[in-house]
Structure 1
Amino acid sequence: MGKVKEAEIDSVLKNLYTVLMRLGFFDGSPKFENLGKPDVCSNEHIELATEAARQGIVLLKNEAETLPLSSEKIKTIAVIGPHANATSAMIGNYAGVPCKYTSPIDGLSKFGEVIYEMGCDGVLCKNESLIFPAMRAASKADATILVFGLDLSVEAESLDRVDLLIPGYQSQLISQVAEVSKGPVVVVVMSAGGVDISFAKNDPNIHSIIWAGYPGEEGGRAIADVVFGRYNPGILCSSSILLLLQMRFDVICILDIIPLFLFDIGGKLPLTWHENDYVNMLPMTSMRLRPVDSLGYPGRTYKFFNGSTVYPFGYGLSYTNFTYKPVSTKNKLNIRLNKFQHCKDLEYSDGSYKPACPAVLIDDLKCESHKVELAIEVANTGKRDGSDVVMVYWSATSGIAEAPIKQLVAFKRVLVKAGRSEKLKFELNGCKSFGIVNNSGYKLLPSGGGKIEIGDGLLTVPVQINFHRGAL
């Protein structure tokens, strides 16, 4: 006899299929039956794919404001690396049939004469034989762009990496090409996960680094637009694609701008890029997030790892400069508890103040009425129009042993013209934004003081959470 009764399985299946029927999973797709390639591959959809790639690109290094490059000064471009002519590698896992591909070579050829050298025979880069021709090309070109990284032969479903390094001779290719390049050197990384590129980060011959992820079918065009700082945003604001972009990226679009303008990069890293030694600090089969000091286990994610990194979560440079200042705040939560709402205990570190009511179970609260409001002004103090992803973090009261270092609770992307400012408003649900999960798996709202941080601590706003019995 099995551990689960057949009647229990039947009950679960009934619930599952009831939901599927309500969602229309068995109604067919009559609205989409007559759609074909012309509908899917419209100019608007191609532009959407390009814009998604542009907004996802992250600027990691930009010494002496090397980027964006000037098409008036740069006439010849050495495009080198295993991903220089990438097509299918750009779409990663679980992709549909692309309308077409625009490789990095295709995109960059719109801005100058391209000199293409592979440098490596694929991302595994098992020999050095193609490095010298790449060095020769870089020594002649006005600028060198190295496009390298990973692909599905290295990282994929059921295929995990054993380290955080780029494979084979790729790092040697990059360093040797950068050493002999006549002009500025730009490195473009394609990968899903983080890679330890400390060698490139610290190399004075490498002036700029951008991470493109797997940028999709129009990735080459997006990379070129970012490298040269140019694209036509008027298309985005003049059609239904604006609505699509607002839905996907929370974009505030500025209308009535000139057809061609200098585009700023504003992407942020969605994951921590660890140093390669990190893989030796913990068993890769362990999914535990919190650190274990007795085992020398450092913890996972930006929430719990506080060691050195190649690039931290949320990192991303810009072609311009932004400042933040608060406009208004509603930063106190005074919550009245009834007789059915009970205080829950939390573990505090030695010497820390422990309030009489440390926390309350979130499921016991009416969360929709407990909100913190914050309005800030984002000023563009640079000389270039640009977009900024404003990231809002929450840190709970210091001393709570089970709380993360910080956690991302909101973000918005805003476009700001040079010398101008825009106001952003954030409304944070207290339960969703300030709650923590303890070691037993319960979601709790802790009492006491905490803080909201904008960006990397550029602006800090204190928040107070108080629980009361009886009238407030």
Structure 2
Amino acid sequence: MAKVISLLLYISLFLSCFVISGYAKRKVSSNRNYKIQFVDDATPTGSNFTFICDPSRTDSTGLDISSFNFCDKTLSYRVRAKDLVARMTLKEKVAQLGNNATGVPRLGLPFYGWWSEGLHGLSNVGPGTFFDGLVPSATSFPTVILSTASFNESLWRKLGQAVSDEARAMYNLGRGGLTLWSPVINVARDPRWGRILETPGEDPFVVGRFAANYVRGLQDIPGTEKVKYEDPNSRPIKVSACCKHFTAYDVDNWHGVERISYDAKVPEQDLVETFNLPFEMCVKEGDASSIMCSYNRVNGIPACADPNLLSKIVREQWDLHGYIVADCDSVQVMVDNHKWLNVTKEEAVAKSLKAGKQGKVNVKDIDNALENLYVVLMRLGYFDGSPTFKRLGKKDVCSKQHIELATEAAREGIVLLKNENGTLPLNPSNFKTLALVGPHSKAREVMIGNYAFDGRHVGKPCQYTTPFDAFSTYGKVINALGCDVHCKDESLIFPAMEAAKNADATIMFVGLDLTVEAESLDRNDLLLPGSQTKFINQVADVAKGPVILVIMSAGGVDINFAKNNPKIKAILWAGYPGEEGGRAIADVVYGKYNPGGRLPITWYQADYINNFPMTSMQLRPDVNQKYPGRTYKFFNGSTVFPFGYGLSYTKFDYKLASTKNIVTVQNVDSRDGSEVVMVYSKPPAGVDGTHLKQLIGFQKVFVPTGGSKSVTFAFNACKSLGIVDYAGIRLLPSGGHTIMVGDGAISFPVQVNYS
């Protein structure tokens, strides 16, 4: 008993933040003044960087590095990790459980900062990465919600590869870690959620496919993608990805209900079918090396202390090859905010380490947690080096190729929502004077979104191409703000109206920003803030030429007024498009790129949220409670724009081959373009409490004018036609299912019978 008490005192008193059982608690500070220490207290650059087991370190450390079994490459990573941990004292072990792991100098083990971020590019939000005069910038790609709108799986993987290139380069330069606590793969259940910009949308299958592809892009080492390893924990990885936040996390701060105290009451059916599915796909298909558990409770139990979630599901059922990390202060909030079971700080640590099992933590639990961590670091080459990535350096951060990829990702994600009478694309020779108005007409930081950079003088995107910059290359631009995002000063509207009166075309940049939707900030309504609607209507009413409306937002906005306004000829949704967002938007407006993005979330009408609180986790409709249901899978009412909606400058026709698994897409228009082929399944009639339809496959194909492409789909009946019952059990119902391609362009029956 004395040993257990001593260990708990070490943890609760010695550490301010720690990694536990593979979980970690990380301290959030508004003034992150961290210094990263490196091997031998040097700042390595490129080729002279040393790794833990480099024999040359003997001279600088005074240790015979090669004499340690944890540096014996003939042994498995698990055996080596056990040897390393066994050499540590109890106090030394505890000191390695923080996101700022102190290291053990007497063993040649240096400090390591576990917390780096790579959501849509490297950022200094995580203190494991920092920028300075040598490397002041990193490529800032579009936020996840916009990249997802491309519905292009190969693009998602390329984005992961680019981010991991820059992460490896920063590591070689001594300015970053190899463990990225990204991506966010929570389902966007409610349109008010402030973190929708970080997520891949509302469909759990799409979220899971994004997760698997992005993680593969981050982790896979070229040439080893298809190699089968007898021990998956020996598979080398480029960087370590972390899928977060597990699970049922999608309330940040709504009318005083905060994520750090929220108890998500979720039926087992919805956990299996919706909230957990992306994480399952992330682990099984993406082979992610880490999962982050969330702040909230799930049905009364903190997610980071639930043995069913973390031990039974993540480790046993899904077979995670890696470690589990807790979200910021998740262990502390069990005590301070959840006040769960009136646990003390020591008991909260113990329950987290043991994933909620009875009893206090013992040394074996600490050892297991550390072994999981060091196996991941060994897979990363932290101990043995990574010759494959040794060449990466400053030239690979903000490279021309990455900047072009950021532009392409934004182009592919932009969604054309309205295009009356083929107003777009504009012909530059016919529209020589443009009025560029609205709060985002000169957008810079707004385009970047969050989890980018923390606002210090170093750490910023490689460059900015604002809408004003981009459109100025096409002709004369008259710019007037009109109003800011909150649009409370209507006196600014008049100059914008004057600009529109004197221009051949008016392009209005409106929407939201991080003062409206962000981490720790949920929305109260689905409308444009302040007087933006009035501003749009007044400018459109006096405009001399066609009016094009560009929306920057993550969550959907009720813009039915603009959709139905004959003066507004075209509408584009541009999300938060990253550092090259202005160029991408201009390329679409002028037809250098034919838009093909699709909405990854439903855009609801404003009154959708009137009858139920954001904190109601129910997905299925309830007629008696006047509850409408959530996401396209369960909501059957009117929308502004439905999930999967998106127009093109080109018309495509679909035909179904006789085999019923081959779809031919024909471009019957005069412009090359890309089409997202979306396939849904619909369950048999009379199955109670199931979805209206569900997406089971999608492919993005480029089809030249007059040409056609054949798209083949192969489906697993149990996964693609299956349902989840009230107990969370996956079933394949008998009867007549329906397969639908696109918006019902093609449909055919599939019969399931049991003899």
TM-score tier after normalising by the smaller chain length: 0.7 to 0.9
Change (3 A) 1:406 1:12: farther
Q: Does 1:321 align with 2:651?
A: yes
Listed one character per residue, the Cα deviations across residues 182-229 of structure 1 (whole Å, up to 9, x for unaligned) are 111000000010011111111111000010011111100000000000
Q: Does 1:13 align with 2:369?
A: yes
Does the 8 Å contact 2:406/2:578 carry over to 1? yes
Q: Distance in 1 between matches of 2:432 and 2:480?
A: 17
Alpha carbon RMSD of aligned pairs, Å?
2.0
Match of 1:397 in 2: 684
Q: Does 1:88 align with 2:445?
A: yes
Q: Distance in 2 between matches of 1:14 and 1:438?
A: 38
Task: Give the counterpart letter for 2:713 in structure 1.
Answer: F
The equivalences for 1:187-266 within 5 A come to 187-230=549-592, 263-266=593-596
Percent identical pairs in the alignment equals 57
Match of 1:369 in 2: none
Q: Distance in 1 between matches of 2:371 and 2:525?
A: 43
Task: Give the counterpart letter for 2:674 in structure 1.
Answer: S
Quote how far apart the aligned CAs of 1:439 are.
2.0
Task: Give the counterpart letter for 2:469 in structure 1.
Answer: D
Quote how far apart the aligned CAs of 1:22 are.
6.0
Q: Does 1:45 align with 2:386?
A: no
More divergent stretch after superposition (417-426 vs 434-443): 434-443
Does the 8 Å contact 2:378/2:384 carry over to 1? no
Task: Give the counterpart letter for 2:472 in structure 1.
Answer: S
Quote how far apart the aligned CAs of 1:281 are.
2.0
Q: Distance in 1 between matches of 2:707 and 2:506?
A: 34
**Structure 1: runs of 5+ lacking an equivalent:** 231-262, 331-373
Match of 2:698 in 1: 411
More divergent stretch after superposition (142-151 vs 27-36): 27-36
Q: Distance in 1 between matches of 2:688 and 2:623?
A: 13
Match of 1:353 in 2: none
Task: Tell me the SS of whatever aligns to 1:446.
Answer: coil
Aligned partner (choices 79, 88, 100) of residue 463 of structure 2: 100
Higher helix content, 1 or 2: 2
The equivalences for 1:67-146 within 5 A come to 67-95=424-452, 97-120=460-483, 122-146=484-508
Aligned partner (choices 510, 517, 524) of residue 162 of structure 1: 524
Q: Distance in 1 between matches of 2:603 and 2:384?
A: 43
Aligned partner (choices 297, 312, 322) of residue 627 of structure 2: 297
Q: Distance in 1 between matches of 2:381 and 2:451?
A: 21
More divergent stretch after superposition (38-47 vs 416-425): 38-47
Listed one character per residue, the Cα deviations across residues 94-130 of structure 1 (whole Å, up to 9, x for unaligned) are 226411111111111121111111111x211111011
Match of 1:24 in 2: 380
More divergent stretch after superposition (24-33 vs 271-280): 24-33
| Pairs aligned (count) | 392
Task: Give the counterpart letter for 1:141 in structure 2.
Answer: A
Q: TM-score, normalised by structure 2?
A: 0.50
Quote how far apart the aligned CAs of 1:265 are.
1.0
Higher strand content, 1 or 2: 1
Q: Distance in 2 between matches of 1:160 and 1:302?
A: 21
Q: Distance in 2 between matches of 1:37 and 1:432?
A: 45
Change (3 A) 1:194 1:29: farther
Change (3 A) 1:389 1:282: same
Match of 2:416 in 1: 59
Listed one character per residue, the Cα deviations across residues 235-294 of structure 1 (whole Å, up to 9, x for unaligned) are xxxxxxxxxxxxxxxxxxxxxxxxxxxx32111100000011011121110121111122
The equivalences for 1:276-291 within 5 A come to 276-291=606-621
> Which 4+ stretches in 1 moved above 4 angstroms?
7-12, 25-37
Listed one character per residue, the Cα deviations across residues 385-435 of structure 1 (whole Å, up to 9, x for unaligned) are 111111111111111112200111111111111222111111112222222
Q: Distance in 2 between matches of 1:304 and 1:112?
A: 47
Does the 8 Å contact 1:58/1:269 carry over to 2? yes
Match of 1:309 in 2: 639
Match of 2:7 in 1: none
Task: Tell me the SS of whatever aligns to 2:550.
Answer: strand
Q: Distance in 2 between matches of 1:318 and 1:88?
A: 28
Q: Distance in 1 between matches of 2:712 and 2:738?
A: 17
Task: Tell me the SS of whatever aligns to 1:329.
Answer: coil
Quote how far apart the aligned CAs of 1:452 are.
1.0
Q: Distance in 1 between matches of 2:385 and 2:431?
A: 50
Q: Distance in 2 between matches of 1:392 and 1:215?
A: 27
Change (3 A) 1:427 1:174: same
Q: Distance in 2 between matches of 1:440 and 1:9?
A: 32
Listed one character per residue, the Cα deviations across residues 304-360 of structure 1 (whole Å, up to 9, x for unaligned) are 000011100001111111111111436xxxxxxxxxxxxxxxxxxxxxxxxxxxxxx
Task: Tell me the SS of whatever aligns to 1:427.
Answer: coil
The equivalences for 1:173-188 within 5 A come to 173-188=535-550
Change (3 A) 1:212 1:27: farther
Match of 1:275 in 2: 605
Task: Give the counterpart letter for 1:20 in structure 2.
Answer: V
Q: Distance in 2 between matches of 1:181 and 1:308?
A: 30
Quote how far apart the aligned CAs of 1:16 are.
4.4
Does the 8 Å contact 1:127/1:168 carry over to 2? no
Does the 8 Å contact 2:673/2:704 carry over to 1? yes
